[in-house]
A and B are shown apart, each in its own frame.
Chain A
Amino acid sequence: DVKVTQSSRYLVKRTGEKVFLECVQDMDHENMFWYRQDPGLGLRLIYFSYDVKMKEKGDIPEGYSVSREKKERFSLILESASTNQTSMYLCASSFGTGARNTEAFFGQGTRLTVV
């Protein structure tokens, strides 16, 4: 079974802190994604990566950055956390591109609260 693991289920951070959310997948997937989930807004894509050291902005990249130094690990970084970044963060991975692309597999989510 594909496993996507996020390092924390719950996090509480202070405004202005630098926050790292870690995600690891064990199926050698090329593609990895970070989504943010808010009530009434569904899931919105923050960043994604289709290869090591490669990244592309999603729909809401402002205030975030990412790092992918190894194929299995994709980190989301909040450079200076703000209260409007309080949300559920979901990591996902998938294999292949275009017609070969599989469904995305998701981690269990990290609920981040910024106080």
Chain B
Amino acid sequence: AQKVTQAQTEISVVEKEDVTLDCVYETRDTTYYLFWYKQPPSGELVFLIRRNSFDEQNEISGRYSWNFQKSTSSFNFTITASQVVDSAVYFCALRRYNTDKLIFGTGTRLQVFP
């Protein structure tokens, strides 16, 4: 069975703090894809990153970084020096190689206070 777990329901931080959002996934496939999406208050999910299972290199994009560890089936997302505009719900998702369907976690609501 495929499953994505985001154990943190809600996180609150003060601006400029670093914050890590956890994502743990379950799959028996050897080839799969992992994603992070951001859902701001406007409602539309915004794509942040896609990672395939053969690429365990960590990725950094500005203040955002992702740590993919197959040994622990985790794909964690860190925001450095958080800003109020980072306030949103963040979803981690899994896609099997031979399907086009995304399996989502339950999301983590991040609130960044000034």
Contacts and interface: CB of A to CB of B under 8 A. Distances in A.
Do A and B truly interact?
yes
A42 B106 contact: yes
Contact of B45 (A9, A48, A90, A99): A90
A94 B106 CA distance: 21
Interface string A25-65: 00000010101000011111100101000000010000000
Interface residues of B, number: 23
A88 interface: yes
Interface of A: 9, 31, 33, 35, 40-45, 48, 50, 58, 88, 90, 92, 94, 96-99, 101, 103-109, 111
A92 to B, nearest CB: 8
Chain B binding surface SS class: loop
A84 to B, nearest CB: 19
A41 B106 contact: yes
A105 B100 contact: no
Interface string B12-50: 000000000000000000000101010000111111001
